[in-house]
Amino acid sequence: MPEIQVLPKDIAELIAAGEVIERPASVLKELTENAIDSGATRITAELKRGGVLFLRVTDDGCGIAPEQVKTAFLRHATSKIRAKEDLESIFTLGFRGEALASICAVSKTEVLTRQKDAELGTHYVIEGGEEAVFEQSGCPEGTTVIVRDLFYNVPVRAGFLKKDTAEGNAAAAIFQKIAISHPEISFRLIRENRTEFVTPGDGKLFSAIHAIYGKDFTRDLLPVQYAEAAQNGISVTGYIMKPLYARPNRSHQLFFVNGRSVRSFTLINAIEEAYQTLIMTGKYPVCVLCVQIPPRIVDVNMHPTKAEVRFSDEKRVYNAVYFAVLSALRQHHLVYEFQMPQQEITPEHILPEKPQRDWFAPVAGTDSNTPSAPLFAKPQEMPPQPESPAMPAQTAPASVQTVPAPSVSYRAAVNPAPFSAEPSALAVPQMPVPAPPASDVPPVSVRDVLPPPPQSELLSAFPELMRQPAAPPPSAPLPDEPSARNDAISEIQRAEIKVLGELFDNYVLAEAGDQFVMIDKHAAHERILFERFRRRECRDRQALLSPVKVLLTEDELTALEEHTELLGNCGFTFEFDEKPIAKLTGVPLSCADLDLDALAAELAEGCRLDRAEPDRHLLDDKFHDLACKAAIRAGTHNTREELQVLAEEVWEREEIRHCPHGRPVMFLLSKYYIERQFKRIQD
């Protein structure tokens, strides 16, 4: 066996740094969290070459005392913990004292820091864990940390880094989450000498979200507000997005526990369970949720980068998030405005313009004695026209106005209207954080980097940087908060609805006040039946002349007996006088034509698998199928009276907004928008 020995200090630090520092995003996260803990009100991050070449974080916090600067870069040096009891009440972001030590072990790190009342600050340079410069220096109040040439002394780790753009995007995503979690601080992100976003720092979560993701993202947010009755209980605040605008992945599910951006399957499962029957399969809800929880029931030290947390009472946390989201969905109106993305008219979509001529003049190729063509001739009698010259591909006829294509909104990009234009004709939606423009400069290895600029050049940039305004540049006004828009929709729904007719034997056309309403009758009826099953409101049932017998296991039979009353309220009646055989003796009238043998077996299996999740309605999956099969079919003609009854129920009941599979039930089109399309109203 080889001899056992203690690793040298430099190798041990490189190994330890690998647990915390994986890429530039890890560096930016650790430095930004330290800046927040310092009490900063403005934090600026600057990246070059994705943060591998250059990364700077500047704050106006409390700064570091000169005699403590070197100590801050020692491993396990922290100002947040003094005793083991402090681990049960951690409210700060960084606390283990590994960030700065890990960063300087794999990079060239430079620090400029000054406390509030100090005349001079401290300039400290440490490269690969070894001190290079320690001196007094003039600098602004607060702390600036510059990290250059990340992994310059660990070429193996540098080889695993992705392209600069990918690394920059990962760092920007981390910085965005931190900015949203602390709306009371103004954050600025600069990438490749270009400002990407600035949050106002006004303490409003909605303002921070709008500054980062834009108005199209915030337009359809619903506010969430929930708190346990007990003192020091769990509270949940933030925003969720309407179910129609769910995303194909979880990239926009943001969770913050005590101000820390985290990943947690408990929180993910809670919100997705609340959206059950509201979003389509393969879609995921969008949310920005802030959970305040007593520190004693959350473990933030289970992951090297503190990206994951663990709860000692997961059911309590699950219930808080589930009921918070469910309450927001039920309280606010899930009514959608009809979206009609416009198609840009291009020359290939326009017929060549015929040259103007005098209809009473002789046609070309005839003499003056040839009678002219009649003024109102039929198309087949129209005299032949000379072909117009070929039109240049870049220009359109002067008589045709080219309609500019508006930028496609977040909602249109996620769920286009049913009769939208071809994908190739739609404008490409602008992402919240566009990638930096491609540079003509060839990639540079960290070993080929020029030496850092002189200290005088470095210091000259800081005052200008700190003087930059904290508020975002003037732009479009902030949209109304979601609660105000929901109040406006509530006013609309007070009007009575009147059916005008039916389109394609599937869509109900109606008017209500100044709104044109379109209802998918199959989706609406499907949801109505589904809600009747869930609420055990079966209005009609059919007794079977010949009971359906099904052989069940002991577990299935016991579960079915325990839920006899519930199933009876849904219209299903069973008898158990021939165990282990159960007899289905009655079903809802809408299910009389289904395969009753399979139906009885599936109901028994559903009862057995019931997990008693909070507010989880029994047999929801089966009720989905039953409601879909029993609902009005598309293409079925209905009378005006039947459509009126259906429209009134949809209009008056808030829960009838999506079919059980997540498709929308109703869209609104305002009178103002229609008149604008007909040019009765000028923009």
The residue with tokens 């599910």 is 253
At 218, which amino acid appears?
A: T
Q: What is the pLDDT of residue 260?
A: 86
Structure tokens at 225: 């507000």
Q: What is the pLDDT of residue 386?
A: 47
At residue 477, the pLDDT reads: 58
Rounded mean pLDDT for each run of 10 residues along the chain, 683 residues in total: 62 58 90 91 95 95 91 73 53 60 90 92 91 91 94 86 92 94 95 94 94 89 86 88 89 90 90 88 91 84 68 89 90 72 47 44 43 40 46 41 40 38 35 42 38 42 42 53 60 79 92 92 89 72 86 86 82 87 86 80 79 48 75 86 92 87 88 87 73
Mark whether 232 and 185 lie in a shared domain.
no
> Which of 337, 362, 393 delimits the end of a domain?
337
Q: Which of 285, 310, 337 delimits the end of a domain? A: 337
* pLDDT confidence of residue 470: 44
CATH number of domain containing 295:
3.30.230.10
Residues 144 and 259 in one domain: no
pLDDT at position 580 is 85
Which of 291, 309, 337 is at the close of a domain?
337
User: Does one domain contain both 254 and 177?
Assistant: no
pLDDT at residue 492, rounded to an integer:
60
In terms of domains, do 242 and 168 share one?
no
587 three-state secondary structure: strand
Q: In this structure, which amino acid lies at residue 461?
A: A
CA gap 683, 403 in Å, rounded: 14
Measuring CA to CA, how many Å separate 633 from each of 152, 459, 522, 571, 646?
Answer: 66, 73, 6, 22, 14
Same-domain check for residues 618 and 518: yes
For residue 263, give the DSSP letter: B
Decide if 239 is inside a domain. Answer: yes
Q: Mean pLDDT across the chain, nearest whole number? A: 75
At residue 258's C-alpha, the angle toward residues 254 and 259, to 5°, is: 60
Convert 5-41 to b/e letters by CB count within 10 Å (16 or more is b): eeeeeeeebbebbbebbbbbbbbbbbbbbbbbbbebe
Count of domains observed in the chain: 3
Identify the pLDDT of residue 48.
94
461 in a domain, yes or no? yes
DSSP strand pairing (221-227 vs 235-241): antiparallel
The DSSP secondary structure of 140-195, one letter per residue, reads -SEEEEEEESTTTT-HHHHTT---HHHHHHHHHHHHHHHHHH-TTSEEEEEETTEE
Kindly state whether residues 537 and 665 are assigned to the same domain: yes
Torsion sign over Cα 631, 635, 641, 644: positive
Residue 129 and residue 229 in one domain: no
Whole-angstrom distance, CA of residue 175 vs CA of residue 13: 26
Q: How far, CA to CA in Å, does 560 sit from each of 533, 540, 550, 611, 615?
A: 16, 21, 12, 14, 20
| 82, 133: one domain | yes
> Coil, strand, or helix at residue 226?
strand
d(CA 453, CA 48): 15
| Bridge partner list, 586 | 543, 573
In a domain, 445, yes or no: no
Asked if 21 and 67 sit in the same domain, the reply is: yes
470 Cβ contact partners less than 8 Å away, ≥ 6 residues apart: 41, 42, 186, 188, 198, 200, 201
Full domain range(s) for residue 231: 215-337
Tell whether the torsion through CA atoms of 207, 208, 214 and 218 is positive or negative. negative
Task: Give the pair of three-digit tokens for residue 415.
Answer: 């769920």
Query: Is residue 315 in some structural domain?
Result: yes
Residues 185 and 63 in one domain: yes
Per the CB < 8 A criterion, the answer to whether 61 and 40 are in contact is: yes
pLDDT per residue as tens digits for the range 102-132:
888 889 999 999 998 899 999 999 998 888 9
One-letter-per-residue 3-state SS of 515-548: EEEEEEHHHHHHHHHHHHHHCCCCCCEEEEEEEE
3 state DSSP class of 248: coil
94 with 30: CB under 8 angstroms? yes
Residue 436 lies in a domain: no
**Distance from C-alpha of 640 to C-alpha of 510, rounded to nearest angstrom:** 11
Question: CATH number, domain at 75?
Answer: 3.30.565.10
SS3 411: helix
Query: Residue-wise over 626-659: b if at least 16 C-beta within 10 A, else e?
Result: bbbebbbeeeeebeeebbbebbeebbeeebbbbb
Q: What is the CATH number of the domain that holds 559?
A: 3.30.1540.20
Q: What is the pTM of this model?
A: 0.65
Residues 72 and 105 in one domain: yes
Whether 630 maps to a domain, the answer reads: yes
Q: What is the rounded distance in angstroms from the CA atom of residue 645 to the CA atom of residue 71? A: 75
The DSSP string of 437-479 is: PPPSSPP--GGGPPPPPPHHHHHHHHHHHHTS-SSPPS-SPPP
The answer to whether the bond into 243 is cis (omega within 30° of 0) is: no
Predicted pLDDT of residue 483: 63
Q: Has residue 479 been placed in a domain?
A: no
Structure tokens at 324: 């918070």
235 and 169 share a domain? no
